[in-house]
Amino acid sequence: MTFVQLIECRTSRLDEMNRLMDDWVAQTKGRRTATHAVVGKDRSDASHIVEMVEFPSYEEAMRNSKLPETDQIFREMVALCDETPTFTDLDVVRDEQLSEDTVRRFFETIATAGELPPLNDLLEEDVHSLDPVNPQTTIGMDNVRGEFGMWRGAFEFSFTVEDVLAQGDQACARWTWNATHTGDFLGIGATGKRVTMTGMTLFRFGDEGKIAELWWQHDQLGLMQQLGALDELE
């Protein structure tokens, strides 16, 4: 079970504490068992500092605490605090990556049959989209919807989202796209062919949790080959 240690302290020497944590990371490289650490400063009390350190399990946390570097860093951290830090040990009983849900809803929505939904619950108004099909960055909700419309006008398709990895304000999805070629695509008339394509999309989220930027990478050459566009070049 994932384990989180919550550390609270008061200090006016946050910069020194950050340097101390950098030293600990460097000294324990390859041996520490912590997988994620977040340090926060109380907006209503700048001296109130909260650190959350995540471990794969309680046992791994105990292994981490027994490292000689951890003990040394702790003693130096206490010296930087105005009072003794407090520790809360937490077994994680629920862990949701809300950005992953947004990513999956995004792919489901743009593949929806019929009229394309507004997307204003998923995308920021000034969203940016970078796609190899378009040499220029597509900017703004209406223009991005138009870009999606180009694909929807040429294919009936669905996505299978194979993996989503989320970190901070970004997420990356690996997907498989299955489609039927039903309309003009880059000058190629409808062929009725069943085609497939693999790709990845990197998302960046804005302050409200909506998608602010998309970077697309996909096997366009393989798609063109399946459509027969490369036959005359062989």
Please give the pLDDT value at position 96: 65
State the DSSP code for 233: G
Q: Taking 80 as the threshold, does the pLDDT of residue 231 lie above it? A: no
Residues 21 and 55 in one domain: yes
> Rounded to a whole number, what is the distance in angstroms from the first to the last CA of the chain?
56
Residues in CB range of 117: below 8 A, 6 or more apart: 109
Residues 125 and 201 in one domain: yes
Residues 145 and 211 in one domain: yes
Residues 80 and 111 in one domain: no
Residues 180 and 218 in one domain: yes
| Structural contact between residues 62 and 32, judged by C-beta atoms closer than 8 angstroms | no
- Name the range with the highest mean pLDDT among 47-51, 175-179, 182-186: 175-179
Residue in 49, 121, 112, 58 with CA at minimum distance from that of residue 86:
49
Residue at 51: amino acid letter: E
Q: How far is CA 228 from CA 117, 156, 193, 196, 231, in A?
A: 32, 18, 10, 13, 5
Residues 107 and 193 in one domain: yes
The per-residue pLDDT for range 82-139, each reduced to its tens digit, is 988 898 999 988 776 789 999 999 999 999 999 999 899 999 999 999 988 788 999 9
For the CA atoms of 79, 84, 90, 95, the dihedral, rounded to the nearest 10 degrees, stands at: -60
Residues in CB range of 61: below 8 A, 6 or more apart: 3, 5, 33, 34, 53, 55, 89
Cα dihedral sign, 132-135-140-146: negative
| Structural contact between residues 218 and 174, judged by C-beta atoms closer than 8 angstroms | no
Residues 127 and 75 in one domain: no
Please give the pLDDT value at position 64: 85
Q: How far is CA 44 from CA 40, 48, 131, in A?
A: 12, 9, 43
Residues 55 and 134 in one domain: no
Q: Taking 70 as the threshold, does the pLDDT of residue 233 lie above it? A: no
Residues 119 and 214 in one domain: yes
CATH number at residue 12: 3.30.70.100
CA–CA dist 25, 163 (Å, integer): 29
CA–CA dist 99, 170 (Å, integer): 8
> For residue 182, how many C-alpha atoms fall within 13 Å in the half-sphere facing its CB?
10
The per-residue pLDDT for range 45-56, each reduced to its tens digit, is 999 999 898 888
Please give the pLDDT value at position 195: 97
Among candidate residues 91, 124, 152, the one where a domain is terminated = 91
The per-residue pLDDT of the chain, averaged, comes to 90
The per-residue pLDDT for range 55-74, each reduced to its tens digit, is 889 998 888 888 888 888 88
Q: How many CB atoms lie within 10 A of CB 144?
A: 22
Among candidate residues 47, 70, 91, the one where a domain is terminated = 91
Residue 55 phi, psi (nearest 5): -130, 155
Domain membership of residue 43 as a residue range: 3-91
- Domain count of the chain? 2
Residues 217 and 113 in one domain: yes
Cα dihedral sign, 149-152-154-159: positive
| pLDDT band for position 165 (cuts 50, 70, 90) | very high
Please give the pLDDT value at position 144: 96
CATH number at residue 109: 3.10.450.50
Residues 84 and 123 in one domain: no
Q: What would the mean pLDDT of 9-26 be, rounded to a whole number?
A: 87
Among candidate residues 91, 117, 138, the one where a domain is terminated = 91
Residues 82 and 107 in one domain: no
